[in-house]
Structure 1
Amino acid sequence: MDLLHTLCRIAAPAGNETALTQYVLSYIEQEQHSWRVQPTVLAGDGWQDCILLVFGAPRTAVFAHLDSIGFTVRYGRQLVRIGGPVLEAGSRLVGRDAQGEIDCRLTIDEETGEIGYEFTREIERGTELTFHCDFRETETTVQSCYLDNRLGVWNALRLCETLENGIVAFSCWEEHGGGSVAYLAKYIYETYGVRQALISDITWVTEGVQPGQGVVISLRDSLIPRRAYVERIRRIAEAAGIAHQLEVEGSGGSDAKELQHGAQPWDWCFIGAPEDNVHSPDEIVDKRDIASMLALYQVLMREM
């Protein structure tokens, strides 16, 4: 879990993913010599803060978003949400502006509900703040802010160790409206002819999805994937004997929304471990679900 701990500590709110992008590129450079296949790495100018890794003769692409939720400093001591963070007065927020390091507390006006911060000085407008990382690991769980989606990134990087044919796409802005998957998907489709995708992201513990019962294969959220594609994935999971759960939701979304709304005929399926305390500083995931998530991705990328 050392890699996951490191990923969770790096601030990368939507729109400012650069630090995490640089870390992932450094990790790839250091580790790819031990991977089964060395990929073509596409990043830098023209890709914004996204990364594409192309292995062998790809048939399927895995999408994992780098960004997280957070806050932007407005005027005075006001904050504006990035994505949908849980709001709890007193939550510890960290960041940095031109005057130095920031370690402050979230405030909520009892009358108006407006959010702000408590700190020894005013923070420069436009500064991003994120939850302080308190990474906790037990024999059975990991708990931290930003497991959504650093765990999806962890899964994608671990997948790279054995991947022979496929594409791994690290995207940006997912938590705040998206915007990068559209051009990534267009390039992948037009360059490699790939049009089937897996979404390496984290979903919710609900009354129908429980921790420790296996990775979640989502039948739908606010969008509906093509049923024939999802059924194919289910058959592979069942044949492999990998613990998994089925999810049916009427809300929520992921990088899949840009695939669904795009001009290319992409098939997609959201596959991820369930977490509790979503979008809070205390997100928690069962290690058994992490293990089954990686195992299923390894099988799918080999057989699809």
Structure 2
Amino acid sequence: MNLINNIEKLCSIHAPSGFESMLIEYLIGWFANFIPNAVIDKTINNTLLIIKGQPKVVFIAHADSVGFILQYNNKLLALGSPEVFEKTKLRTIDNFEVDIESDQDENYYLKSNKTFERGTTFTFIPHFIEYENTIQSPYLDNRVGIALLMQLALESEHFCIVISSNEESCGGSIEKTSRILYEKYEICKSVIVDTTFHTEGIRMGDGVVLSLKDKYLPSERWVSVVKNILQKNNIPYQLEVEDVGSSDGAYIHKSPYPIDWCFLGIACLNNHSEKEIVNIDDLNYLYDAINYINKINMFNL
């Protein structure tokens, strides 16, 4: 599987937060076709739990993207926290393109003669560009995470993957899935595979990002294990320490199940915009990292 081509395909699929069904159906078909002996659990709305063999670690990537939903009088409400550039265009699920405009309070409105039904969802128009060392597209957050986990599944005898929903807006999907992971499959370790913001301390091209703190604190003992794996296998990494933001780890944190979690991702420039950019070397380092972590499934943790 060509990783970059797969990311481009995933980025083209309309799946704003809370309305991920098109992407979920695509992934169901893909896993059924390429890994027919994997178990696909669809208990939770717009969420997939895919498992094969006897893994002890679950890798989690969210399906949803930021976007908009139509309210009244052409007003758009944000799904998540989209960043809009000047002259940004949006599209519907059936690829009808529209212009938007904003008022002084940064409320956004459709600028179209066409009438749309209330509740119509809109996302950025796909425009994928591959450069020598980077790729640019809307929705690299978090289609890169999904693509990496698809590759991991193709190359592993044992794996557990969750494709979650609603992460960009209200959360909840992975919190519900935690019960199934712990009670049915006895999974007690998790890795959030996602993008994070390119900041003064976290830079594209400097390797994978291991979070020590965002709005929540990950499991210290599990972070130490993951950090040791990165060091042992000479994978470049950078440590993130923030006081805002969160990931699917927040919803595991809130669940009543004793599942350790950590965030392992890559830096993304222009996050939540139509021009997200990630470094290709970082992508490859992140794949190496989750592949090594997945191998410890063979041992007791």
Letter aligned with residue 254 of structure 2: H
Mapped partners of 2:156, 2:265: distance in 1: 18
Residue 144 of structure 1 corresponds to 137
Mapped partners of 1:226, 1:190: distance in 2: 20
Kept in 2: contact 1:89–1:108 (CA 8 A): no
Note if 1:167 corresponds to 2:164. Answer: no
Kept in 2: contact 1:4–1:151 (CA 8 A): yes
Mapped partners of 1:284, 1:174: distance in 2: 20
Residue 250 of structure 1 corresponds to 243
Mapped partners of 1:188, 1:69: distance in 2: 27
SS in 2 for 1:202: strand
Deviations 1:217-245 (A, max 9, x none): 11111100121210111011100111111
Residue 83 of structure 1 corresponds to 80
Correspondent of 2:49 among 45, 48, 52:
52
Letter aligned with residue 25 of structure 2: Q
Listed as ranges, the matches of 1:1-304 within 5 Å are 1-32=4-35, 38-43=37-42, 46-96=43-93, 101-110=95-104, 112-303=105-296
Letter aligned with residue 2 of structure 1: N
TM-score normalised over the length of structure 1: 0.93
Mapped partners of 1:229, 1:29: distance in 2: 32
Mapped partners of 2:253, 2:107: distance in 1: 35
SS in 2 for 1:175: coil
TM-score normalised over the length of structure 2: 0.94
Letter aligned with residue 6 of structure 2: L
Mapped partners of 2:136, 2:84: distance in 1: 18
Q: What percent identity do the matched residue pairs reach?
A: 31
Kept in 1: contact 2:202–2:267 (CA 8 A): yes
Q: For this pair of structures, how many residues does the alignment match? A: 294
Mapped partners of 2:219, 2:24: distance in 1: 31
Q: CA RMSD in A?
A: 1.3
Report the Cα offset of residue 248 of structure 1. Answer: 0.9
Letter aligned with residue 216 of structure 1: V
Kept in 2: contact 1:76–1:122 (CA 8 A): no
Report the Cα offset of residue 30 of structure 1. Answer: 2.3
Report the Cα offset of residue 130 of structure 1. Answer: 0.3
Higher mean alpha-carbon deviation, 120-129 vs 15-24, is at 120-129
SS in 2 for 1:23: helix
Mapped partners of 2:28, 2:67: distance in 1: 23
Structure 1 runs (4+) deviating above 6 angstroms are none
Letter aligned with residue 136 of structure 1: I
Kept in 2: contact 1:106–1:118 (CA 8 A): yes
Report the Cα offset of residue 282 of structure 1. Answer: 0.2
SS in 1 for 2:98: strand
Report the Cα offset of residue 101 of structure 1. Answer: 5.0
Deviations 1:15-52 (A, max 9, x none): 1111001111111122226xxxx421222xx3322111
Q: Which runs of 5+ in 2 are unaligned?
A: none
Report the Cα offset of residue 163 of structure 1. Answer: 2.1
Kept in 1: contact 2:31–2:38 (CA 8 A): no
Higher mean alpha-carbon deviation, 283-292 vs 52-61, is at 52-61
Mapped partners of 1:55, 1:25: distance in 2: 15
Kept in 1: contact 2:69–2:121 (CA 8 A): yes
Mapped partners of 2:156, 2:243: distance in 1: 33
Higher mean alpha-carbon deviation, 286-295 vs 204-213, is at 204-213
Seen in structure 2, the aligned counterparts of structure 1 residues 74 and 89 have a Cα distance that, compared at 3 Å, is farther
SS in 1 for 2:244: coil
Higher mean alpha-carbon deviation, 81-90 vs 267-276, is at 81-90
Deviations 1:87-140 (A, max 9, x none): 3342110004xxx75211221113x33211211223221100000011010121
